[in-house]
Amino acid sequence: MRRAELVLAILCLVGAPAAAQDPLTPLPPEAFEGLCPPEEHPRAEDHPVDEVRALLAAGDVAALEARLAERRAAGTGAGDLVSRFDHVLDGLTARGVPLAPFDAWCAARPEDGLPFLARGMRRITAAWEARGTGVAATVPEAGWRGFREHLEGAATDLERARALLPDDPRPAANLITVAMGQGWPVERTRALFDEATRRDPRCFDAYNAMTTYLLPRWHGSPQAVLTFALEQLEARPDEPALYLLLNVALQEQGRGRLREDERARLHERLRQGLARLVDTYPAWTAGVRPVMELARASGDRALDAACVRALAGAGAAGYQQRLGEMLAGVRPGYLEPDPAEAARWFCRAAVQGRQAAAVNLAGALIAGKGVARDEAQGFLWLLRAAELGHPHGMRHVGSSLLVGRGCAPDVERGRAWLERAAEAGDAPAMRNLAMSFLDTRFGERDLARGRAWLERAVEEADGLAMMHLGGMLTRGPEEVRDLPGGVALLRRALAAGVAAAAEDLREALSRAPELRRPGDPE
C-alpha cells in the first residue's frame, strides 16, 4: 500500500492536498463523538515572533521590551529545551529581518545589553546571507566583503552585550560563531564556550557552536570534534541533548578512523542517548527532528516512531497525521496497529487543517475502523476535507450527496463538488460526474455532457472511464454509436486491468466479428 493511502471499504483515499478554497463550515459537537473533543487536541505552541518583529519595525521599544520580558518570565514550555524567550529572540534575529530597526533600538537603549545582543545575532545571520552557503571558492568578493563587515559589527555588539549582561550566556555563545567565521584560535574560542556554559550549563547554542567550530571544514578535525563530544557527555551524563554532539562527531569519522568494535559501541550509546533525548524533550522539535533523520537512515523504526509520537504530542499536525498512518497500518512495521488511536490522531491533525487526515478519518468512520460506524459523522469530515481543498474529499462529498450517503440527497450540490474535484484533475471525479448525467436516477439523461466528462477521464488514463465510454459507443443510442471506437476503448480498459470490460468487448465483437483481433476474449 502506498504511503499516503488508506483504503477503507468504499473509499480509496490517495493524493496530494490542494489549496483551500472555501470558508470552513463549523464542525458541530457530533463530529467529535467517540473521538477527541477539540479542547484535548495538542497544538504546537504559538510563539509571537511576528508580533515582536512588527513592534521592532515600528520602533515601539517600550512595547517590544515589555513583550520580550513577558516571554522571559514565561520560562520554558513543557518538554522543550529552548525557553520561550529564546524562541522569540531567534525569530526576531532571523534572516530577512531588516537591520535598521536594530540600530534605532540600540540608540534608544545604549546602556542595555539586550538590543546589542539582538543586533549582534542579526549581524551574524546577515554575514551568512552575504556569504551564501556555497564552498569558499564560489563566494564572490562582494560576498566576502559583506561577510567580514557583518562579523566585525557582530563582534563589537556581542562584546558590548557581554559586558552589560554579566550573567547571560548568549553573548559568549554567539561570539563562538563569530570566532569561527573570523578564524580565532581555539584557545580563545574555547574560553568563550567555558564562559557561556559556566553562566548556563544548559545553553545548547554554546555546545552546538563549539562543535561546529571544531568540524574539519572550519578549524578542527574529526578527532577534535569526537573528543569534545565525549568530554561533554562525561561532564554532563544526565543531559541527553548532548548526544546530538556525538551524532555530529560520528558522522565525521570516516572509514578506518575507529575500530569497528569502538564504532559499534559508540553507535549503540548514541542510539540509547537519543532515545532519552526524545523522551526528555518531546516538544523540542529542533532536537527531535535530527534524531528522526538518523533513525530513518539507520532503519531504526522504533526510534523513528518514538520521534513521530513526540512531535505529534507537541502539536505538529503533519506528525499527528503520520502517527495516525502508522497506527492505521498505512505505514506498516512501525507500531502495532491500533485503529481507535489512529482515528484520534487523524482527528487532531484534521482539526489543524490536514486535508488527508480529514479524509482518512472520514474513511474510518464510514467503514467503522476503530470507531463506531457512522456515515453521517464521516460525511462531516469529508466535507471538512473538501472545503480544505482536497480533490478526493471533494469527490467523495459529491458522490455522497448524489446518493444521500450520510447526508440528504442533493444532486446539484453533488455535481458541483464533483466538478470542482474534476477541475482539480481528479479522474474518478470526472467519471462519477459523467455517470451522474448518464444515470436517470439523477434526472434527465444528458448524453453530451456525460460523454464529454468520460472523454476527459479517458485522457487521464482512467480505466473505468474507458469501459463506460466504450460501452456507450458500442451499445448506446444511434446518435452516439461508434462500434470501432468503442471496441478500441474496451480493449484499452482491459489492458488497464478492468476485467469487467471483457464481457462488453466480447458482446461488441459478437456483433462485429470483422473487428476481432488475436488476443481478444472469446
SS3 content of the chain, % helix, strand, coil (to 5): 70, 0, 30
Burial class (CB in 10 A: 0-12, 13-18, 19+), 452: middle
Give me the pLDDT at residue 134, please. 82
Specify the 3-state DSSP secondary structure of 96: coil
CB crowding 81-110: b at 16 or more within 10 Å, else e = bbbbbbbbbbbbbeeebeeebbeebbeeee
How far from 113 is each of 85, 107, 170, 380, 494, CA to CA, in Å? 15, 12, 11, 54, 75
User: Chain-wide mean pLDDT for the chain?
Assistant: 91
Assigned C-alpha cell, 36: 477527541
- DSSP-assigned letters across all residues of 454-477: HHHHHHTT-HHHHHHHHHHHHHS-
Specify the 3-state DSSP secondary structure of 6: strand
Cα–Cα dist 87/380, whole Å: 37
The parts of the chain modelled with pLDDT lower than 70 are 1-22, 38-44, 255-256
Specify the 3-state DSSP secondary structure of 239: coil
Give me the pLDDT at residue 31, please. 86
Give me the pLDDT at residue 3, please. 24
Name the H helices within 59-185.
61-73, 84-92, 100-108, 113-131, 141-164, 170-182
Sign for the CA dihedral angle at 41, 44, 49, 52 comes to positive
Give me the pLDDT at residue 257, please. 80
Residues 6+ apart with CB under 8 A from 454: 430, 431, 434, 465, 468, 469, 472
Residue 286 CB coordination number (10 Å):
15
Half-sphere exposure of 312 toward its Cβ, with a 13 Å CA cutoff? 25
Helix (H), strand (E) at residue 2: none
Contact 68, 89 (CB under 8 A): yes
Max CA-CA distance within the chain? 97
7 pairs with which residues across the strands? Answer: 12
Give me the pLDDT at residue 56, please. 97
Give me the pLDDT at residue 14, please. 29
CB crowding 236-258: b at 16 or more within 10 Å, else e = eeebbbbbbbbbbbbebbeeeeb
Specify the 3-state DSSP secondary structure of 11: strand
Q: Which residue shows C-alpha cell 570566532?
A: 179
Contact 291, 303 (CB under 8 A): yes
Vertex 132 angle, CA 127 and 134, to 5°:
135
Contact 21, 423 (CB under 8 A): no
Specify the 3-state DSSP secondary structure of 8: strand
Half-sphere exposure of 356 toward its Cβ, with a 13 Å CA cutoff? 22
The secondary structure of residue 26, as a DSSP letter, is P
Residues 6+ apart with CB under 8 A from 317: 44, 348, 349, 352, 353, 354, 357
Amino acid at 435: M
Give me the pLDDT at residue 390, please. 95
Cα–Cα dist 486/494, whole Å: 12
Q: In angstroms, how far is CA 376 from the centroid of its own chain? A: 30
Burial class (CB in 10 A: 0-12, 13-18, 19+), 40: exposed
Specify the 3-state DSSP secondary structure of 359: helix
Contact 83, 99 (CB under 8 A): no
Cα–Cα dist 158/172, whole Å: 7
Amino acid at 81: L
Assigned C-alpha cell, 443: 434526472
Write down how long the chain is.
Answer: 522
Taking alpha carbons only, the member of 14, 9, 8 closest to residue 355 is: 14
End-to-end CA distance of the chain: 34
Contact 150, 123 (CB under 8 A): yes
Taking alpha carbons only, the member of 355, 312, 362 closest to residue 335 is: 312
The pair phi, psi for residue 92, each rounded to 5°, is -65, -30
Give me the pLDDT at residue 43, please. 67
Vertex 304 angle, CA 301 and 309, to 5°:
125
